[in-house]
Amino acid sequence: MTLFPVRSWCRAGGALLIAAACQAALAAPDARIASLAAEQKQPLLDSLSQLVGIESGSRDLEGLEKISDLIAGKLKALGGEVELIDTSAEAYRMEDTPEKMGRAVRATFKGTGKKKIMLIAHMDTVYTVGMLGKQPFRVEGDKAYGLGIADDKQGVAVIIHTVAMLQALKFKEYGTLTVLINGDEEISSPGSRALITRLGGEHDAVLSFEGASVKEDKLSLATAGIASVTLNVTGKASHAGSAPELGVNALYELSHQVLQMRDLSDPATGLKMNWTISKSGSNRNVIPASATASADVRVLKVSDYDRIEQQVQERVKKQLIPEAKVELKFERRRPPLEATDASRSLAAHAQRIYKDEIGKPLGADDKAAGGGTDAAFAALKTKAPVVERFGLQGFGAHSADAEYVLVDSIEPRLYLATRMVMDLSRNKVGN
């Protein structure tokens, strides 16, 4: 049995004791939960091997069907009421949204209490079919490797084995424990975002299981929102040498539009808009009849979406060439996750458990950083706490050849997740 750090996990005669060597200021860890976390370490690694062994890119419907069946089976075996949900019908359609998306798995566990708690993660990856052979699951020392293992198959596994621990403890003091695993996160969750938002508004707390960093073990209370601006300009082709005046130069109009929208970033509020891609024309000697450009937008507050969208809509009306046709599309790919007092309180409770019972520091940053998160959809229409990065420590997400999680983070994270569900159920968080 693997033990937690000696400074807070002292054993004598098989029982956990508080002793001077363990620092009297630390609270005693729950021996039952600690024992179960150790027992679940290898089964969790076995689950990771199974999950990584199924390729499940966001556009690989066959792979997503296989992995959703695996996850549904595990949750059903734990006593959950399981649904496989087709989210395609209510999808938010963006330029890169596929016609059909992978199913979401929802498992519901009914308890005897009142609190409604939701645990979320995603099963899809950024990798394409055939890449599994280059990085199959393997364990080397304290690192477990595999495509998608850090982002976010570890999160799926941690949730499954947290539920297994709660079942072993016969703990049912929650009202409803909901597990939601979606299959379209890596393409901005076009199908599942409405479901995540709706369920987030129905629960008293949401814990999201994206992984933490190997360099900085911390929870996330805020992430940036992501949007895109696309300009499509239609002009008229003509010979660039003999009759340029008969053409309508789409590149000139596009350049004008990009230049007049180059100053919309607002450092004071963290709003960023940067043009990143452009394309025009077909031949050097032809006046371009079409031109396109795309900009990346980041916001820290949901309200900033309205502001920046209104600004670009106003600017685009000022054309250089009236004969050109200019079309603008503003896509809200992800809302920001905004830190709240409720989420800070939940994170502080998690930090106390980690420090006092596990003997490890745990950060909780309310500064927006990193990529977008489904936790932001869960928080969109609720005042309840939503906190990200309850997953394992890992590295190399989207890297194709170096993605891993730290094996030694399994027990602490299982302990923390289990304790959080128990304390939330008992209304001990924030009190």
**What are 92's two structure tokens?**
């938010």
Active site residue 185: yes
**Cα 52 to chain center, whole Å?**
18
| Residue 174 and residue 111 in contact, taking contact as beta carbons nearer than 8 Å | yes
Active site residue 30: no
Exposed (0-12), middle (13-18) or buried (19+): which is 313, by Cβ within 10 Å? exposed
Q: Which one-letter DSSP state was computed for residue 322?
A: T
Residue 429 main-chain phi, psi, to 5 deg? -85, 125
Show the tokens assigned to 140: 């080397």
**One of 124, 184, 331, 374 is an active-site residue; which one?**
124
Contact 152, 71 (CB under 8 A): no
Which residue do the tokens 């891993």 mark? 404
3-state secondary structure of 181: strand
d(CA 127, CA 163): 28
Contact 292, 326 (CB under 8 A): no
Query: SS3 of 244, please?
Result: helix
Q: Dmax over Cα atoms in the chain, in whole Å?
A: 95
Helix (H, G, I), strand (E, B) or coil at 377: helix
Mapped onto helix, strand or coil, the DSSP state of residue 107 is: strand
- Catalytic one among 30, 60, 185, 304? 185
Note whether 227 and 330 are within 8 A (CB): yes
138 by DSSP, 3-state: which?
Answer: strand
Sheet holding 138-140, edge to edge: 138-140, 143-145, 404-406, 393-395, 212-213
Q: What is the DSSP string of 6-46?
A: TTT--EETTEE---GGG-TTSPPP-HHHHHHHHHTHHHHHH
Total length of the chain: 431
The SS3 call for residue 51 is: helix
- CA proximity to 278, closest of 257, 248, 305: 257
Catalytically active residues, by annotation? 124, 185
